[in-house]
């Protein structure tokens, strides 16, 4: 299994000129590289047929289980180009472990961690020219797994496919980091006790889209979900974890309670904050505590975090009943300094003291 051979089809889809044109302003999730990875799993054979093939449509039987019962999980990580020309990814083994946690919950097969990491290496190596050289740009990698057995019976599928696709990504905030406003979803939830909230699966996102629309209708960019029972205990945003910052520098973030996703950005920021000697409290956090803390001046900043945007400062939290507003248009100081530190490590501008980076393409000899 570990020595599974990848078959390669090298031909590039786009010419170098077409690629360079797309890399000027790629946006997010719009364009895809020349290749993708595909590995098939069957109950009888395990993982086999590992391939690097031209990016394009995949064969899909209309009876494929994923289309009916939603057996799908995914990951998100980025490849960064450092000033010396080398290409790295950030903690890919953490993504592999989390994919397997999600796989267990969705009754999909686990994939060996080293096969996951090799798949990332295969794709980034062959599509290395797609890793942007412009400031703040990166190559977003989307590993995912679908159940593709043709069978309408309700049970876990006996055939699955693991794929990795890649998409060049521009800076998340064009024109500088700006605080966003968050809508508190009161009637609609993305996850509940015993559900799939801690798994990174498409179903959770499907459940978050209507509340996300409600947020947009109320002038907000993101949604905040609370525990469905208390409607006060904070879980997370649709696709990002949340932190509050106290005036004394303490960071507060909801504990991993089974409803929320264990973000790798969240975990990394906790370690960076602890390195600085800051206190980090992982525990139940409520909207009431946030409101009162802002009112009495003990909570000074709030931010959301995830791979795509790294850190997004939060300017206000709105609901149909109230608004919590930091009253200041500028992002918080600690928020921005943690953002700078983490992106500095990822882009090779700061020392990687934790050994988080995985070098895929080494620096070219001068």
Ligand X SMILES: *Cc1c(COP(=O)(O)O)cnc(C)c1O
Chain positions contacting ligand X, by CB under 6 A: 76, 200, 236, 239-241, 261, 263-266, 306-307
Query: Which phi and psi angles does 108 have, rounded to 5°?
Result: -105, 165
Between residues 76 and 249, which has the closer beta carbon with respect to ligand X? Answer: 76
β-pairing verdict for 357-361 and 87-90: antiparallel
Helix then strand count (H, E) for the chain reads 8, 18
Between residues 52 and 199, which has the closer beta carbon with respect to ligand X? Answer: 199
Measured distance CA(276)–CA(58) in Å, rounded: 47
Q: What is the DSSP-derived secondary structure letter of residue 306?
A: E
CA nearest neighbour of 270 among 243, 240, 309 = 243
Other C-beta atoms closer than 10 Å to the C-beta of 363 total 13
Between residues 161 and 200, which has the closer beta carbon with respect to ligand X? Answer: 200
Measured distance CA(327)–CA(343) in Å, rounded: 27
CB of 366 to ligand X, least distance (A): 34
Helix (H) or strand (E) run with residue 314 in it: strand 310-318
3-class secondary-structure state, position 40: strand
3-class secondary-structure state, position 276: coil
Other C-beta atoms closer than 10 Å to the C-beta of 354 total 12
Measured distance CA(74)–CA(72) in Å, rounded: 7
CB of 305 to ligand X, least distance (A): 6
CB of 8 to ligand X, least distance (A): 29
CB of 309 to ligand X, least distance (A): 9
Between residues 199 and 317, which has the closer beta carbon with respect to ligand X? Answer: 199
CB of 240 to ligand X, least distance (A): 5
Helix (H) or strand (E) run with residue 23 in it: helix 16-23
- Tokens matching residue 56: 């394009």
3-class secondary-structure state, position 341: helix
Between residues 300 and 335, which has the closer beta carbon with respect to ligand X? Answer: 335
Between residues 52 and 309, which has the closer beta carbon with respect to ligand X? Answer: 309
Between residues 151 and 205, which has the closer beta carbon with respect to ligand X? Answer: 205
CB of 103 to ligand X, least distance (A): 15
């Amino acid at each position: 299994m570990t020595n599974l051979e990848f078959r390669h089809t090298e031909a590039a889809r786009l010419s170098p000129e077409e690629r360079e044109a797309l890399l000027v302003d790629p946006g997010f999730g719009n364009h895809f590289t020349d290749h993708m990875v595909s590995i098939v799993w069957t109950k009888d054979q395990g993982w086999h047929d590992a391939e690097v093939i031209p990016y394009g449509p995949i064969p899909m039987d209309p009876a494929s289980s994923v289309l009916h019962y939603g057996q799908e999980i995914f990951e998100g990580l980025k490849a960064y180009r450092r000033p010396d020309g080398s290409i790295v990814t950030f903690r890919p083994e953490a993504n592999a472990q989390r994919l397997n946690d999600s796989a267990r919950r969705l009754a999909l097969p686990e994939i060996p961690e080293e096969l996951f990491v090799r798949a990332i290496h295969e794709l980034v190596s062959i599509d290395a020219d797609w890793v942007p050289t412009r400031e703040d740009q990166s190559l977003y990698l989307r590993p995912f797994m679908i159940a593709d057995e043709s069978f309408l019976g309700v049970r876990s599928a006996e055939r699955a496919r693991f794929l990795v696709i890649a998409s060049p990504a521009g800076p998340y905030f064009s024109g500088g980091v700006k605080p966003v406003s968050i809508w508190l979803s009161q009637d609609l939830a993305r996850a509940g006790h015993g559900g799939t909230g801690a798994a990174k699966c498409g179903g959770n996102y499907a459940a978050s889209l209507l509340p996300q629309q409600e947020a947009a209708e109320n002038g907000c960019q993101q949604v905040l979900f609370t525990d469905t029972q208390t409607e006060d205990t904070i879980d997370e945003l649709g696709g990002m974890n949340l932190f509050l910052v106290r005036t004394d520098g303490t960071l507060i973030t909801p504990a991993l309670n089974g409803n929320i996703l264990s973000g790798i950005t969240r975990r990394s920021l906790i370690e960076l904050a602890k390195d600085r000697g800051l206190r980090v409290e992982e525990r139940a956090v409520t909207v009431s505590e946030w409101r009162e803390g802002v009112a009495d001046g003990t909570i000074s900043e709030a931010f959301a975090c995830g791979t795509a945007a790294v850190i997004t400062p939060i300017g206000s939290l709105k609901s149909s009943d109230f608004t919590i507003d930091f009253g200041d248009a500028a992002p918080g100081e600690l928020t921005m300094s943690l953002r700078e530190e983490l992106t500095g490590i990822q882009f090779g501008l700061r020392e990687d003291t934790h050994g988080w980076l995985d070098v895929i393409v080494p620096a070219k000899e001068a």
